[in-house]
Structures are given as structure tokens and as C-alpha cells.
Structure 1
Amino acid sequence: MLSGTALTAFRIDGQFLSVAEELADRGLAEYRPNPAHRRAKLLAPTADGLAAVRRIAPQHADFAHRLSEQQRGQAEFARALDALRRLTGALDALESAPDTPQPVRGARHGR
């Protein structure tokens, strides 16, 4: 669940692309063609990336458990993830609307 929350938060914050680039630059991920979308590429882990995930999995699980406890348990954590997913869906709908100005990716308001 933490992974889903993190990915949703990265996307909302406009940082996913910079994280993806960093992973690719470090050889932990690679871009692949996306058969469902000509312009959007898929990001896939490399063998080194999968090895890194296996090394951090125990710490990730411990952190996810502690974070869940701070959120008053799995149910509250699941509600937060659901809210982030709904917000992402709303952003996707707005971005695909023909009359909606497109945000600058990676830009932050007030900075």
C-alpha cells in the first residue's frame, strides 16, 4: 500500500518524471515502448533495479508498518490512498479536457 501511495503522491507532485529519470540514469530502470500510447513510454526495472528492491524490501515493510500505525491502522491508510487515487483521476480528467490549460510538469506553485 505504501508503494501505491508513494507513486500517487509523486505523480500529483509532478516529481515522478524526475524520479524516473534518476532511476534510469543510475541503471535501476529503463524506458520501453508503450503499446497503448505512442508518446508515453513505460518504465521498467532493470536487473540492478530488481536487486535493489530486494535489498530494501525488509526496510520498506518495516517503514510501511510504522507509517500505518501513525495513520491509525491499515483502514485509515487505505482511505488516504483512495483519496490520492481519486485526486489523480480528477487530474487526469482535467488534463484530457480540451478546454483545460495544461500545467507545467514539475513546476511548483509559489516557487
Structure 2
Amino acid sequence: MSDRQQQDALSRTALGVFRLNGQFLAVSEKLAEPAGLTAAWWQVLGAVLPEPLPVAGIARVMGITRQSVQRIADLLVREGLAAYEPNPAHRRAKLLTPTEAGRAAIGRIEPGHAELAALLARELGGQEAFDETVRVLERLSGALDAVGARYTAPEAP
């Protein structure tokens, strides 16, 4: 593969992922709205469903800034959908955890989420194809993590 082909592949990949991000955000807003959530609120609540996490940990998992997560976490706490609890590992970095109201709101998203998952699986050609799509995206994310950690942009001419 030539340098030009590799650059074209990178550009097409980036544009495709940017488009996917917009598409996922749009459909997530539709799914979250009946539950009284936004896509961003759902994203942060979803990150802490398995276990409470500090804001910095949520930001790492989601790949966004700590400040963005902090703003949303504070709103979720204010709305009674999440709560801060002490962090035994770090006195100042409290853990965010969903409240029963937060879990109930996420639960109201489940039927639409299940329907969308089924529609996507069907559109992609079945569950096996859907699983392969997920594997490719996870592989791309892992590769970008590895490359990004050691990549430094060349100096401008």
C-alpha cells in the first residue's frame, strides 16, 4: 500500500468515525429523551452502572475531558439521578454512583435500546456480522490508543 493510499484510508476512517459519532449521538438523544435524560447524561450514568467511579475514571473510559464529565456528574447529582460517595482510595476524588432514580431512568431506555440493537443486527446481516463490526471498531480503538501514545507530530516546515 502506498503512502497516499494509507493517508486516504486514514482520512476515510476518521470521517466515517466522525459521522458515526454524530449518528450515535442523534439516536442516543432519541432513546434517552423519554427517560428524561440526554445522551450525555445516559453516557455518564451508563459508565457507573457496573461500579462507582471517580470523574477522572469516567472520563478515561469515555475518552472525553474530565471537565465535561464533572459538569454532567454535578447535573446528575443535582437532579437526584446520581450521588457522590467517599472514595477509599482517594479522599478528594469522590466516586459517582447511580441512585435508584438513575437506574430507573436507564431502565426506561432498555426497550428502545433492545429494538435498535435488533434493527442494527438485521441491517448488518445478523448477529455474527454485528459482533464482527464491534471487534473491528474495538481493534481500531486499541490500535489508535497504541499509536497515539507514542506519536508526535512532525514539525511544520
TM-score bracket, shorter-length normalisation = 0.5 to 0.7
Aligned pairs, how many? Answer: 82
Q: What amino acid does structure 1 have at the position aligned with 2:105?
A: A
Structure with bigger RCO (C-alpha 8 Å, 6+ apart) = 1
1:26 partner SS: helix
Residue 128 of structure 2 is matched in structure 1 by 75
Offset at residue 22 of structure 1 (A) = 6.4
30 and 75 in structure 1: CA distance in 2 versus 1, 3 angstrom threshold: farther
Other structure's SS at 1:53 match: helix
Cα RMSD of the aligned pairs, angstroms, is: 3.5
TM-score of the pair, normalised by structure 2: 0.40
Which of 66, 90, 101 is the matching residue for 2:152?
Answer: 101
Aligned to 1:52: 105
Task: Report if aligned partners of 1:30, 1:45 keep a CA contact under 8 Å in 2.
Answer: yes
How big is each residue's C-alpha offset from its partner over 1:14-49, in whole Å with a ceiling of 9 and x where there is no partner?
x8527745642431557886x6xx9xx8x8551133
- Please list every run of 5 or more consecutive structure 1 residues that lacks an aligned counterpart in the other structure: 1-8, 103-111
Contact kept in structure 2, 1:23 and 1:29, CA below 8 Å: no
Match of 2:118 in 1: 65
Structure 1 equivalent of residue 43 of structure 2:
none
How many Å separate the matches in 1 of 2:111 and 2:130? 19
Rg comparison, structure with higher value: 2
Partner of 1:17: 64
- Distance in 2 separating the partners of 1:92 and 1:31: 30
* Identity across matched positions, percent: 33
- Following superposition, the deviation at residue 50 of structure 1 comes to 1.7
Corresponding residue number in structure 2 for 1:108: none
